[in-house]
A and B are shown apart, each in its own frame.
Chain A
Amino acid sequence: MDAANYLYLSVLLFTIGAVGVVVRRNAIVVFMCIELMLNAANLAFVTFSRINGDLNGQVVAFFTMVVAACEVVVGLAIIVTIYRSRRSASVDDASLLKR
């Protein structure tokens, strides 16, 4: 299969993720969409690694996974805290700060 197709897939996933961030209200889902975007990027790295015949791209993918895991830790901490305070995981409810 043409490696370019993986790229298209990656772009598609990224777009889905990005649109998801914008349209979904639940903080967890929003966060998952972001993870989806990160993984889309990972896919792109791996694909390029394949296309370019260079292993560095795959190394990046590992790093990304680790970083994403850290992000989950921090993110969930924040989301949980706010859920406990507000009894709501909707990102739209958190709009005290504006204008």
Chain B
Amino acid sequence: MTTSNSLVYLIALPLLGAIILILAGRRADKWGHILGTLMSASSFVVGLYQLSQMLGRSNQARPVTQKLFEWISVGTFKVDAALLLDQLSICFVLLITGVGTLIHIYSISYMSHDHDRRRFFAYLNLFIAAMLLLVLGNSYLNLYVGWEGVGLASYLLIGFWNQKPAYATASKKAFVMNRIGDMGLSFAIMIAFASVGTVSFEGIKEHVHHTSTGALTAIGIMLLVAATGKSAQFPLQAWLGDAMAGPTPVSALIHAATMVTAGVYLITRSSFIFDAAPTAQLLVVIVGAITLLFGALIGTAKDDIKKALAASTMSQIGYMILGAGLGPVGYAFAIMHLLTHGFFKAGMFLGAGSVMHGMNDEVNMRKYGALRKFMPITFATFGLGYLAILGVPPFAGFYSKDMIIETAFNSGGTKGIILGSVTLLGAGITAFYMTRVMILTFTGKSRWDEEVHPHESPLLMWLPMAVLAIGSVSSGFLLSRGDALVNWLAPLFEEHGEHSELLKPIVVSGLALMMVAIGVAIAFLKYSRQEVASVAPEDVSVFTKIARQDLMQDRFNEAVFMRPGQHLTQVLVKTDEAVIDGAVRGVGQMAMGSGALLRGVQSGFVRSYAALILVGAVLLIAAIWVVTN
């Protein structure tokens, strides 16, 4: 395999930025954001350079590695700190650094009034570095470092304004739920080592054919658990909505475009395991299907623009997971949707940020309305993203999402019909809630308070939005032209045989568009034809109430895990005090008590002492008598 010495710069540059910005402290306030942006941008340039190198090589010679040093080596457990850049990771590298840089630029302006902007850029750079490590690590353990690293960065960024207790709690929740997923990854690595004897991608791939299906299934399921944590998939989805506490650029970068898609990366990267473990693969599909509906349903009831978008993200990643679970045929489409989603969702989040920026950080869409006039550029870019997510041809989503729906239908049998229907239904609901967002935000009458003066955002903010909007429009077409991405990734995945074609592509597209049209129409009927209350109505159906509460996810978690956990903790604390330490103290008190009791023997009367001697003497005789006879 080709080796390279320059892979490390991809990570080192943003990492260096983060370190400098953190250590320099307030001294760096003046130039910190510039440095951060430059570091991200230069990493992007390195990424482009790597891409150009890669394009110049033959298909098989494209992956490059770089061994940095021997990281952990104990017995047969040998893990190098080594990087692997192949056709899959380069996609991510460019997405991360590209979108990342745009968001850095956006943030310069967005965060300009924040006292701690430098710190924000430090975290962003840290995130970029960790995310790059995640996609560049050549083994699961290296990936794990990045995996938890992005969790840390995400924690820091969600809690960037942690002086608000709710935000601090949100960041903690995100970290803890992520850790549950991380535990899955730990298990996967342990099982891999115990059954295969190595944890590198290549090593496992080599041995996969003579590894038991049971082990592979276990690894696969554990990887899926990891993916559900990081990618906010069912059942570990509950943190994502709260994660919107972070500054909007963070939501755009981490909780829409990149980090949350790490689960998709993980499953795709582990294709060789899932391909050999059908049960695990089936679970992947099921998780994806559930989540895509789950997120979509939540999205219909959210009044907070960011939470609505977050629900949408969850749902869209559900599509990707589902796609990745469909096996060799689906990986490329999952990645394609991941990339297009990265553009349009990041764009929309930045748009939302732009709206908030002009609306004194108001996030409630019921307090918006008619912003089209005041923020034309935001409206335009957001609108393009909207069209992309709906899957209206020829926008990006049309290419990527339709491919997943089509693959789902074609996956065969009842499974195919169910999955296809779910994805179609999801598309319809997506259309509904996204249209709702558009209507509530940009059209209709203004519902904002008097002191609010909406205005368009400055250049540094709208420029990245514009660039992303271009991506939303064109990326799908570019990536699918001549199956560009599919062919690019093909060497990484197993060959897949011809699939039965249940429905023709054109039929699928037609059905999808029909669903979209229905969704849009319902939204129009519901929100455009009648006045929207600036306060959320209370007299709504049970379903709406449940959807508003995120389908009871938090209530469920609280009732099933948190409260019993807290109760258990309290019980254990009391037990430790009363029973365990109590036993120890009891022994002490017993000693003291018996001491006090035995003290009574010493009555002070000489005759009782004499009696004691006499009894002692008699007992001695008796004892000797007993012993000798």
Q: Which residues of A contact B194 (CB under 8 A)?
A: none
Contact: B610 with A22, CB < 8 Å?
yes
* Chain B residues numbered 598-613 whose CB sits less than 8 Å from any CB in chain A: 599-600, 602-607, 610-611
Assess whether B614 is in contact with A99, with CB atoms less than 8 Å apart. Answer: no
Given known pairs A91-B607, A92-B607, the reply for A98 and B602 (CB within 8 Å) is: yes
- In whole angstroms, what is the CA distance A91 to B606 when docked? 7
What's the Cα separation between A30 and B611 when bound, in Å? 12
B: interface residue count bin: 10 to 19
The answer to whether A98 and B603 have CB atoms under 8 Å apart is: yes
CA distance A92 to B603 in the complex (A): 10
List CB contacts (< 8 Å) of A1-27 with chain B. 18-19, 21-25
Which residues of A sit under 8 angstroms from B600, Cβ to Cβ?
99
The chain B residue sitting closest to A94, CB to CB, is: B606
Contact between A99 and B606, CB atoms less than 8 A apart: no
Choice from B602, B607, B614 contacting A25 with Cβ under 8 Å: B607
In this complex, which of A22, A30, A97 has the most chain B Cβ atoms within 10 angstroms of its Cβ? A22
- Cβ–Cβ < 8 Å partners of B602 in chain A: 98-99
A22 & B611 in contact (Cβ 8 Å cutoff): yes
- B604 pairs with A98, CB closer than 8 A: yes
Chief secondary structure at chain A's binding surface: loop
A95 touches B611 (CB 8 A): no
How far does the Cβ of A85 sit from chain B's closest Cβ, in whole Å?
Answer: 16
Asked if A96 and B610 make an inter-chain contact with CB atoms under 8 angstroms apart, the answer reads: no
**Smallest Cβ-Cβ distance to B608: which chain A residue:** A22
Decide if A18 touches B614 in the complex (CB within 8 Å).
yes
Q: How far is the CA of A58 from the CA of B614 in the complex (A)?
A: 27
* B610 proximity list for chain A (CB < 8 A): 21-22
Complex partner residue of A22 from B603, B604, B607, CB under 8 angstroms: B607
What string of 1s and 0s marks CB contacts (under 8 Å) between B572-612 and chain A?
00000000000000000000000000011011111100110
How many Å from the CB of B588 to the closest CB on chain A?
Answer: 21
Contacts of B603 in A (CB 8 A): 95, 98-99
B598 to chain A, nearest CB (A): 10
Nearest B residue (CB) for A98: B604
Please give, as numbers and ranges, the residues of chain B lying within 8 Å of A30 by CB-CB distance: 607
Give Cα A94 to B608, complex, Å: 12
CB-CB under 8 A from A91, the residues of chain B are 605-607
If the complex has contacts A18-B614, A22-B614, are A99 and B607 also in contact, measured as CB distance less than 8 A?
A: no
Residues from chain A with a CB closer than 8 A to the CB of B607 are 21-25, 30, 91-92
Main secondary structure of the interface of B (DSSP, over half): helix
Chain A residue numbers with a CB within 8 Å of B611 are 22
Interface residues on A, range: 10 to 19
Residues A99 and B605 in contact, CB atoms below 8 Å apart: no
Chain A residues with CB under 8 A of B614? 18-19, 21-22
C-alpha gap A95/B609 in the complex (Å): 11
Inside 8 A of B606's CB, which chain A residues have their CB? 91-92, 94-95
Complexed CA–CA distance, A52 and B36 (Å) = 112
- Alpha-carbon gap, A23 to B605, bound state (A): 12
Tell me how far the C-beta of B617 lies from the nearest C-beta in chain A, rounded to whole angstroms. 8
A97 touches B604 (CB 8 A): yes
CA A94 – CA B600 in complex, angstroms?
17
CA distance A79 to B606 in the complex (A): 13
Interface residues of A in 48-92 (CB under 8 A from B): 91-92
Q: Which of B600, B603, B606 has the most CB of A within 10 A?
A: B606
Cα separation A21 to B600 with both chains bound (whole Å): 21
Q: Distance (Å) between the CB of A98 and the closest chain B CB?
A: 3
- Asked whether B599 lies within 8 Å of A95 as measured between CB atoms, the reply is no
> A93 — nearest CB in chain B belongs to which residue?
B605
Min Cβ gap A83→B in Å is: 15
Residues of A within 8 A of B604 (CB): 95-99
B270 CB to nearest chain A CB (Å): 77
CB distance from B347 to the nearest CB of A (A): 88
A24→B607 CA distance, assembly (Å): 8
Q: Which residue of A lies closest to B607 (CB)?
A: A22
Within the complex, what minimum Cβ distance (angstroms) separates A38 from chain B? 15
* Residues of chain B with a CB closer than 8 A to A24's CB: 607
Interface centre among B599, B600, B605 (most CB of A within 10 A): B605
A40: shortest Cβ distance to chain B, in Å?
14
Docked Cα-Cα span, A22 to B610, in Å, equals 6
Which residues from chain B contact A97 at a C-beta distance below 8 Å? 604
* Docked complex Cα distance between A23 and B610 (Å): 10
Give the docked Cα–Cα distance between A98 and B609 (Å): 11
Residues on A with beta carbons closer than 8 Å to the beta carbon of B605? 91-92, 95, 98
B residues less than 8 Å from A18 (CB atoms): 614
Rounded to whole angstroms, the CA-CA distance of A23 and B607 in the bound complex is 7
In the bound assembly, the distance between CA atoms of A18 and B612 in angstroms comes to 11
Instruction: Write out, one digit per residue, whether chain B residues 245-286 have a CB within 8 A of any chain A CB (1) or not (0).
Output: 000000000000000000000000000000000000000000
Q: Give A92 Cβ to nearest chain B Cβ, in Å.
A: 6
In angstroms, Cα B607 to Cα A14, docked, is: 17
A61–B604 Cα distance when bound, in Å, is 34
Q: In the complex, what's the smallest C-beta–C-beta distance from B612 to chain A, in angstroms?
A: 10
B615's closest neighbor in chain A, by CB?
Answer: A22
Instruction: Tell which of B600, B610, B614 has the most Cβ of chain A within 10 Å.
Output: B610
Measured between alpha carbons, how far is A99 from B597 in the docked complex, in Å? 10
Question: Distance in Å from the Cβ of B622 to the closest Cβ of chain A?
Answer: 15
Q: How close is B599's CB to chain A, nearest CB, in angstroms?
A: 5
Find the B residue at minimum CB distance from A33. B610
Q: In whole angstroms, what is the CA distance A99 to B605 when docked?
A: 10
Question: Separation in Å of the B614 CB from the closest CB of chain A?
Answer: 5
Distance, CA A24 to CA B614, complexed state (A): 14
What's the Cα separation between A36 and B611 when bound, in Å? 17
- How long is the Cα–Cα vector from A14 to B602 in the complex, in angstroms? 25
11 A-B pairs (CB sep. < 8 Å): A18-B614, A21-B610, A23-B607, A24-B607, A91-B605, A91-B607, A92-B606, A92-B607, A94-B606, A98-B603, A98-B604
Told that A22-B607, A98-B603 touch, could you supply 15 new A-B pairs with CB distance under 8 A? A22-B614, A23-B607, A25-B607, A30-B607, A91-B607, A92-B606, A92-B607, A94-B606, A95-B605, A95-B606, A96-B604, A98-B602, A98-B604, A99-B603, A99-B604
Q: Could you tell me which B residues sit within 8 Å of A by CB distance?
A: 599-600, 602-607, 610-611, 614
7 residue pairs, one from A and one from B, having the closest CB atoms: A98-B604, A95-B604, A22-B611, A91-B606, A99-B599, A21-B610, A99-B602
- Interface positions of A (Cβ within 8 A of B): 18-19, 21-25, 30, 91-92, 94-99
